[in-house]
Structure 1
């Protein structure tokens, strides 16, 4: 990759935000690892929703291929009535309390997903819950993404996906079910208690941007700055969040948030400065020392 002429930064071949079939991605963990090899990645993190199974599955094979895997997870949390996504890095993947909490959160998300499907049925959309379950990981959290995918496979998607989400699944949607099982502060504590570093994910997707400054008041919470946003505002958003992170001296991370072939950014395609990983490493070391 070319060096940035203005800053002298050379992006590394890293991607710290990847999803697999363990949550709502369309590639298995081993397929993601193969894609990482093809992309020339040296460091990656699988950040499946409420699960670390993907990280564990590829650990040995990644080491043999010379690729470092930073343990990762993504949690759905809520703050002031808004859904926020919270990434965690460097957790102890053998921590029993952490694993138990993830299992509880997966179950809570699945209950919300099933209630959402029932609401769609009441609205005349004949989606069977069994069809949603059949495309999800047997031990994973079922999300809106699974519901949309099942609707698509069944020919039941009455609008383009984003419009359908807005009409039916968003906070004001007709089939929306409130998720209250994991507040932002609870999510932060879950990650920190397992020796991890909590990071606010893709801040540009937070519906109410005024909340971000409140979220970042929590000690040791970082920000995902380098992200594959869609549309013409991508570079402006990245620079804005980078400025915020620099002003607050926050840990910065980045990644593609890759879920599958439809994604515009493939693994490793979002430029991330080479200082991101060592800075994250230092934060993880400090997090483990403060447990």
Structure 2
């Protein structure tokens, strides 16, 4: 069984449409997967029936950008039930805020001399999706305005303290965890190795019953070291573990299914989702 629980589509900052991603998942030999688009479930909703017909295990997923003590944290959610509207309505509001931040970022870049229009950026997004820094970088590249590599540009201009950085304040860590749980979902801290202030991780784990993304492909030369480190942490705290490639497209350094995720991750996640659904039903 091949598993990838961290994939992006054009519903946020991925290169390929949800339909194209289903085909790429099949071509990569993936059996279990999840679209974890930023503040959006549109990709999942568009192809959930198609994935089922094709015999794939398709888990509802989302990735939320949150803040905690001044640090940006990424929080994954799995297994949310979409039959009710409050969760989707909350996502819509978060998406609007993310898009407003993206537009303000483009305006800052314009002030810095980049001849990039908001329409250039918006044209790359899904009609009901989220616009983020990935779209901005892609638009700069397409317009011949990117002065360096995408990662270098993000670090210099779009990360906290960057020249064009605009802070997103719409969702706190506590609020995002509760939002996911309110929909019967399982919250998981994404790529913990990318959290700048590592001393915050024990606090995040202690505040709520969350899992952590252990098997992650984007760690570069530190991949195996960090995977082992967070695996041991998860074992010691009896935390749910997930994993995936964080694939955004052919322009990125990883491939679909690049990181090997053990089969037991799927079964443990299914158990956690079933438990979350049961708890939601009680309340």
Q: What TM-score comes out, normalization by structure 1 length?
A: 0.93
**Higher share of residues assigned helix:** 2
1:57 Cα deviation (Å)? 1.6
Q: Give the stretch that moved more between structures: 158-167 or 95-104.
A: 158-167
C-alpha separation in 1, matches of 2:142 and 2:173: 33
1:263 Cα deviation (Å)? 2.7
Q: What is the match of residue 180 of structure 2?
A: 191
SS at match of 1:156: coil
C-alpha separation in 1, matches of 2:252 and 2:33: 18
SS at match of 1:264: coil
Cα pair 1:52 1:93 within 8 Å, conserved: no
1:155 Cα deviation (Å)? 1.1
1:30 Cα deviation (Å)? 1.4
Q: What is the match of residue 6 of structure 1?
A: none
In structure 2, the CA distance between the partners of 1:168 and 1:264, relative to structure 1 (3 Å rule), is closer
C-alpha separation in 2, matches of 1:197 and 1:180: 22
In angstroms, what is the RMSD of aligned CA positions? 1.1
Q: What TM-score comes out, normalization by structure 2 length?
A: 0.96
SS at match of 2:220: coil
Q: What is the match of residue 118 of structure 1?
A: 107
C-alpha separation in 2, matches of 1:176 and 1:264: 24
Structure 2: tracts of 5 or more residues without a match: none
C-alpha separation in 1, matches of 2:220 and 2:40: 30
C-alpha separation in 1, matches of 2:11 and 2:218: 23
Alignment partner of 1:156 is 2:145: yes
Structure 1: tracts of 5 or more residues without a match: 1-11
Report the number of matched residues.
280
Q: What is the match of residue 25 of structure 2?
A: 36
Cα pair 1:106 1:141 within 8 Å, conserved: yes
Cα pair 1:22 1:48 within 8 Å, conserved: yes
1:96 Cα deviation (Å)? 0.5
Deviation beyond 6 Å, 4+ runs, structure 1: none
Q: What is the match of residue 65 of structure 1?
A: 54
SS at match of 1:152: helix
| Partner residue of 2:77 out of 71, 78, 88 | 88
1:230 Cα deviation (Å)? 3.8
Alignment partner of 1:128 is 2:117: yes
